[in-house]
């Protein structure tokens, strides 16, 4: 049995696990799903969500493009999007803070919950 890759991908209105990656002459293909049921799509046809290898206060894995509630020690709560800095470290997009500097709660992602984007102060 193969182990799923740690990536997720938003494709055709649904978040999928990335089962495998195939490099071909005509592009990079992702197998979405699992061993029993998978679909093959070009990398350019979906949005890849990289893992941060961190977890929110409830034990949920945090991925790139997740929308989180940020609880900082001396500040109020606010919502933001998880992105990656140029150096590859995960961060809160608008604040530029490292994810390990605050308490987080995943409440959705930018693809499946576009209404939450309206609640983020830019």
Query: What are the Cα distances from residue 46, in Å, to 36, 51, 94?
Result: 21, 16, 24
pTM of the model: 0.84
What radius of gyration, in Å, describes the C-alpha atoms of the chain? Answer: 16
Q: How many CB atoms lie within 10 A of CB 115?
A: 7
Per the structure, the count of domains in the chain is: 2
Query: Are residues 28 and 84 located together in one domain of the fold?
Result: no
Q: How confident is the model at residue 110 (pLDDT cuts 50, 70, 90)?
A: very high
Sequence length of the chain is 122
Decide if pLDDT at 122 tops 70.
no
Residues 17, 71: one domain? no
Averaged pLDDT score across all residues of the chain? 86
Query: What span, in angstroms and rounded, lies between the C-alpha atoms of 34 and 99?
Result: 29
Q: What is the pLDDT at residue 1?
A: 44
More confident residue, 103 or 34: 103
- Residues 70-81 as b or e (16 or more Cβ within 10 Å = b): beeeeeeebbbb
The confidence score (pLDDT) of residue 29 equals 92
Taking only the tens place, the pLDDT of each residue in 22-38 is 899 999 999 898 777 88
Please report the pLDDT score of residue 36 as a whole number.
79
- For residues 103 and 74, membership in a common domain is answered with yes
Residue 2, in any domain of the structure: no
Whole-number pLDDT of residue 74? 64
Distance CA 5, CA 58 (A): 22
SS (H, E, C) 99-110: HHHCEEEEEEEC
Same-domain check for residues 62 and 100: yes
Question: Per residue in 61-97, pLDDT tens?
Answer: 999 999 999 887 666 788 899 999 888 888 887 766 7
3-state class (DSSP) for residue 100: helix
Residue 1 within any structural domain of the chain: no
């Amino acid at each position: 049995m193969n182990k799923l890759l740690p990536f997720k991908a938003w494709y055709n209105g649904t978040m999928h696990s990335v089962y495998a990656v195939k490099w071909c002459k005509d592009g990079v293909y992702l197998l979405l799903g699992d061993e029993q049921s998978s679909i093959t799509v070009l990398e350019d046809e979906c949005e890849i969500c990289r893992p941060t290898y961190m977890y929110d206060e409830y034990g949920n894995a945090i991925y790139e493009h997740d929308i989180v509630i940020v609880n900082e020690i001396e500040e109020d709560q606010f919502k933001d999007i998880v992105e990656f800095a140029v150096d590859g470290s995960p961060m809160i997009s608008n604040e530029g803070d490292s994810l390990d500097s605050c308490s987080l709660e995943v409440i959705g992602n930018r693809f499946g919950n576009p209404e939450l984007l309206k609640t983020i102060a830019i």
